[in-house]
Amino acid sequence: MQPRMANVYKVAGRGYQALSAMEEFLHDSPASNDVLELVRLRVSQINGCSVCVDLHSHRASDAGETNERLWSVAAWRDTPFFTDRERAALALAEAVTRITDNPEGVPDDVWDTAARHFAPDALAALVMAIASVNAWNRVNVATGLVAGSFR
């Protein structure tokens, strides 16, 4: 596997800095990191971003996430391993990522469920995290960045 560009993040350094600034905001946000990593992993699976699937599964594992839950993120609806709060975040992540699949964009019931589980500031951070990982995924997939290259 060969990337299409030597290193898009060096070529577009200011763009990388901008995306990284969002990650700094999210690190200090009221949204819990364990939920954010599950969301980042699920969005990356949907988008087929091998770099981010690799990255976020490792980060989640390093933070104490179990293999059972990591292996089940793609089928979270059909497993008993996730809390209602995590399910709300994963449903929102899927709806935002697949925004064109529904004529109303993000369905009200998905939003309302997430809003019941997250305070407004945490919900805003969750939405920002979903948008951010979608951006990272698209850059990585478009440029053919190879999984494991972050290590």
Q: How confident is the model at residue 10 (pLDDT cuts 50, 70, 90)?
A: confident
Higher pLDDT, 151 or 106: 106
Average pLDDT, integer, range 7-13: 81
Q: Is residue 148 part of a domain?
A: no
Residue 122 is predicted with a pLDDT of: 98
Residue 144 per-residue DSSP state: T
Q: Is residue 3 part of a domain?
A: no
Q: Is residue 151 part of a domain?
A: no
Contact between residue 74 and residue 45 where contact means Cβ atoms under 8 Å apart? yes
Q: Is residue 149 part of a domain?
A: no
Q: How far apart are CA 44 and CA 10, in angstroms?
A: 22
Average pLDDT, integer, range 33-43: 97
Domains of the chain: total:
1
Q: What is the CATH number of the domain that holds 67?
A: 1.20.1290.10
96-130 tens-digit pLDDT: 999 999 999 999 999 999 999 999 999 999 999 99
Higher pLDDT, 18 or 146: 18
Residue 150 is predicted with a pLDDT of: 65
**Residue 13 CB: number of other CB atoms within 10 A?**
11
b/e sequence 19-50, b meaning 16+ C-beta within 10 Å:
eeebeeebeebebbeebbbbbbbbbbbbbebb
Higher pLDDT, 130 or 15: 130
Q: Is residue 14 part of a domain?
A: yes
Q: Is residue 39 part of a domain?
A: yes
- CB within 8 Å of 2: residues ≥ 6 apart: 144, 146
Q: Is residue 68 part of a domain?
A: yes
Q: Is residue 85 part of a domain?
A: yes
* Percentage of the chain lying above the pLDDT 70 cut: 98
Does this model's pTM top 0.85? yes
Q: How far apart are CA 75 and CA 112, in angstroms?
A: 22
Higher pLDDT, 15 or 99: 99
* Residue 23 lies in domain: 8-143
- Report the run of H or E that residue 20 belongs to, with start and end: helix 13-27
Which residue, among 28, 48, 30, 37, has the nearest Cα to 98 in the 3D structure?
48
